[in-house]
Amino acid sequence: MCGIVGYVGKKNVRDVIIEGLHRLEYRGYDSAGIATTDGKTLVVKKAIGKISDLEKAIQGISFPGSIGMGHTRWATHGGVTEANAHPHTGCPWTKKLQVAVAHNGIIENYRHIKTLLEKKGHMFTSETDTEVIAHLIEEYANGSLFEAVRAALNDLEGAYAIVVISKEYPHELIAARNQSPLVLGVGKGEYYIGSDPSAFVTHTRDVIHVEDGEIVRITPEGYTISLLDNTPISRNVTHIDWDAKKIEKGGYDHYMKKEIDEQPHSTRDAMRGRIDIENGNARLRGIEDKLNELSILKRIIITACGTSWHAGLVGEYLIEELARIPVEVEYASEFRYRSPIIEPGTAVLVISQSGETADTLAALREAKRQGGLVLGICNVIGSTIARETHSGVYLHAGPEIGVASTKAFTSQITVLTLLSVLLARSRGMSQARGQQLLKALADIPEKMTYLLRPENEQAIKKIAEAHAERNHFLYLGRGINFPVALEGALKLKEISYIHAEGYPAAEMKHGPIALIDKKMPSVIIALKHDPLYPKIISNMEEILARGGDIIAVATEEDGEIEKKAKHVLRVPTVPIELSPLVTALPLQMLAYYAAVKRGCEIDQPRNLAKSVTVE
């Protein structure tokens, strides 16, 4: 959620840190800060608001030295104030270590530590849990910054990724991780630390993913990695295959719109090399070593959060329909805290765009603890979920910067479709049926390109602008498009701040119908070739009878839908199993243009973060 960037090298440290902070803005934040040192002074400056506000606050200020850190904060403890922003320092009068600390995560025992430190004379100036780390390091000062940090970390309970610098050690940066992502960037005579590689990708693409329970010491001469008990760790450097251009807007006003338009490409990349049309089967090399176990599965549990959970619901329909394997879809935040039954023959599939979602990671670890086969679907190569699952599949969607996920959702559905075909073929689905589905799947990127053509976009924009001032929306779908209704409602909530609810269309009469009036539009997915189409038309009649306003997502050949719907969003006809890959796009654009019309912050909606690394 929060963002960290650190640097040790010969470049202008202020410029490197500010650039890194800008590249971390997508994660969601409410304040920012920077700290550097040259051994004579420790300079710490913070500001609430955007990075641009921090830049204004530090104009004319010298940031000495060649070592420093920056942070973007997403509030967990304490309000949005300059005092609560990071980096945090200890007591200003200390004669031990003057340190600055940036921290992502939550320290669960901070109140206990704070009480003990206050009794020893430490004075706190913020409401945060992070500040105790700075004071604790100061308390443990014994002539070595590394040892003081290591001792302090042994007292902490909870999740953290931290970066520490000290005036007394102007050529040393200490970083550590526990349940919050941290990546070391290895350059030529310079080193970086970040919440993810985007913080420094313009400088180096050679990275080392720091693992839980590890501490890193970085100097101009190099770096060392060790466990908290000081056991040395050796780790290979990996090279990431995307560059800075992929995380730039490329002429778009917003990342979200760019990523909506990228879906023909990201969907194609998600299936590239994975379709064997001749044999009517899918190739998923990431799980090839588990094919024997997968062929005899008795049950699958899919666990995820947010948009990934909606993709998981689509996966449930696909796997049960095609492979005839029972599937349960669980919120990871609930799964982790109950006592799930994971019997032999059960696989747990975890889905996450970032591969770092805290609740999903906890669900993964619980499933492994119970002996389950755990598979992963994620987008970020080398992420924690990718490393901790037994096997898995990457999305290859490229960096997704907009907080409201778009291309990751359709890429997840694409991978779930391939997985469903693979499972189904191992259980007797015919070669011809596999060929039929995979041929249609291979055509989806072209269908998406057609759907995203300018005339369609303008029609959606017009509808969105006409409804942008409404306060409530109802989204309805049936079967495999019910999860798309949920996702459409989520997109509208996330970026336009309009209250929206998604429901199975048949459930409307069990409560939501009481809300129907002229002021609340209903967005209904009604596809002519859907076996449930007559039922959906009946639901529309019920809304019309109560004066409701209907926006329908309908296929192009449906010439009767205008009799029921005031507005129609047209999509190409594809097999119903693949329809979420086209019905999702107009709902993404509807939300986008409503938010633009309302003047909302599109890429960084309030209170939200891209990578949710806390509970």
User: Is 61 buried (19+), middle (13-18) or exposed (0-12) by CB count in 10 A?
Assistant: exposed
Question: What's the rounded mean pLDDT across residues 254-278?
Answer: 94
Strand 549-555 and strand 567-571: the pairing is: parallel
Q: To 5 degrees, how large is the angle CA 593–CA 595–CA 598?
A: 110
Question: What's the rounded mean pLDDT across residues 98-108?
Answer: 91
- What is the pLDDT at residue 513? 83
Inter-CA distances, 533 with 243, 377, 536, Å: 45, 32, 5
Full strand arrangement of the beta sheet holding 183-186: 42-48, 31-37, 67-73, 3-8, 191-194, 183-186, 206-209, 238-239
Looking at the structure, do residues 200 and 236 belong to the same domain, yes or no? yes
- What is the pLDDT at residue 614? 52
Confidence of residue 611 (pLDDT cuts 50, 70, 90): low
Looking at the structure, do residues 122 and 229 belong to the same domain, yes or no? yes
Joined together, the tokens standing for residue 578 give 């693949």
- Answer yes or no: are the C-beta atoms of 159 and 614 closer than 8 Å: yes
pLDDT of residue 401 exceeding 90:
no
CATH of the domain at 333: 3.40.50.10490
Q: Which of 452, 484, 507 is the last residue of a domain?
A: 452
Residues of the domain holding 410: 249-452
- What is the pLDDT at residue 197? 87
Looking at the structure, do residues 602 and 482 belong to the same domain, yes or no? yes
- First-to-last C-alpha distance (Å) of the chain: 11
Looking at the structure, do residues 410 and 483 belong to the same domain, yes or no? no
- Number of structural domains (the chain) is 3
Cα–Cα dist 442/452, whole Å: 17
Question: What's the rounded mean pLDDT across residues 350-364?
Answer: 90
Please report where in the chains the tokens 């693409």 appear, as a residue: 205
> What is the phi/psi pair of residue 219, to 5°?
-135, 170
Confidence of residue 259 (pLDDT cuts 50, 70, 90): very high
Looking at the structure, do residues 447 and 459 belong to the same domain, yes or no? no
pLDDT exceeding 90 applies to what percent of the chain?
Answer: 67
Q: Which of 452, 481, 507 is the last residue of a domain?
A: 452
For the segment 38-59, what is each residue's pLDDT rounded down to a tens digit? 989 999 999 998 899 999 999 9
Average confidence score pLDDT of the chain: 91
pLDDT of residue 544 exceeding 60:
yes
For the segment 277-286, what is each residue's pLDDT rounded down to a tens digit? 999 999 999 9
Full strand arrangement of the beta sheet holding 373-378: 327-331, 299-304, 346-352, 373-378, 391-394
Residue 243: other Cβ atoms inside 10 A: 12
Joined together, the tokens standing for residue 380 give 């970020």
For the segment 483-492, what is each residue's pLDDT rounded down to a tens digit? 999 999 999 9
Type of residue numbered 474: L
For the segment 568-590, what is each residue's pLDDT rounded down to a tens digit? 999 999 999 999 999 999 999 99
Question: What's the rounded mean pLDDT across residues 162-187?
Answer: 93
For the segment 107-152, what is each residue's pLDDT rounded down to a tens digit? 889 999 999 999 999 999 999 999 999 999 999 998 899 999 999 9
- What is the pLDDT at residue 609? 61
Closest C-alpha among 608, 377, 197, 250 to residue 259 = 250
Residue scoring higher pLDDT (65 or 267)? 267
Task: Count CA atoms within 13 Å of residue 153 on its CB side.
Answer: 29
pLDDT of residue 551 exceeding 90:
yes
pLDDT exceeding 70 applies to what percent of the chain?
Answer: 97
Looking at the structure, do residues 443 and 581 belong to the same domain, yes or no? no
The DSSP result for 45-56, as a single string, is EEEES-HHHHHH
pLDDT of residue 63 exceeding 80:
yes
Q: Which of 212, 245, 278 is the last residue of a domain?
A: 245
Looking at the structure, do residues 180 and 57 belong to the same domain, yes or no? yes
For the segment 410-425, what is each residue's pLDDT rounded down to a tens digit? 999 999 999 999 999 9
Closest C-alpha among 458, 440, 455 to residue 582 = 440
Cα–Cα dist 71/33, whole Å: 5
Looking at the structure, do residues 102 and 134 belong to the same domain, yes or no? yes
CA torsion sign, 77 to 78 to 79 to 80? negative
- Answer yes or no: are the C-beta atoms of 489 and 501 closer than 8 Å: yes
Looking at the structure, do residues 499 and 354 belong to the same domain, yes or no? no
Residue 321: other Cβ atoms inside 10 A: 14
Residue scoring higher pLDDT (158 or 579)? 579
Looking at the structure, do residues 566 and 602 belong to the same domain, yes or no? yes
pLDDT of residue 8 exceeding 60:
yes
Looking at the structure, do residues 382 and 472 belong to the same domain, yes or no? no
Confidence of residue 515 (pLDDT cuts 50, 70, 90): confident
Tally of residues, the chain: 615
Looking at the structure, do residues 10 and 119 belong to the same domain, yes or no? yes
Catalytic residue annotation: 2, 610
For the segment 430-459, what is each residue's pLDDT rounded down to a tens digit? 999 999 999 999 999 999 999 999 999 999
CATH of the domain at 123: 3.60.20.10
- What is the pLDDT at residue 227? 94
| β-bridge partners, 329 | 302
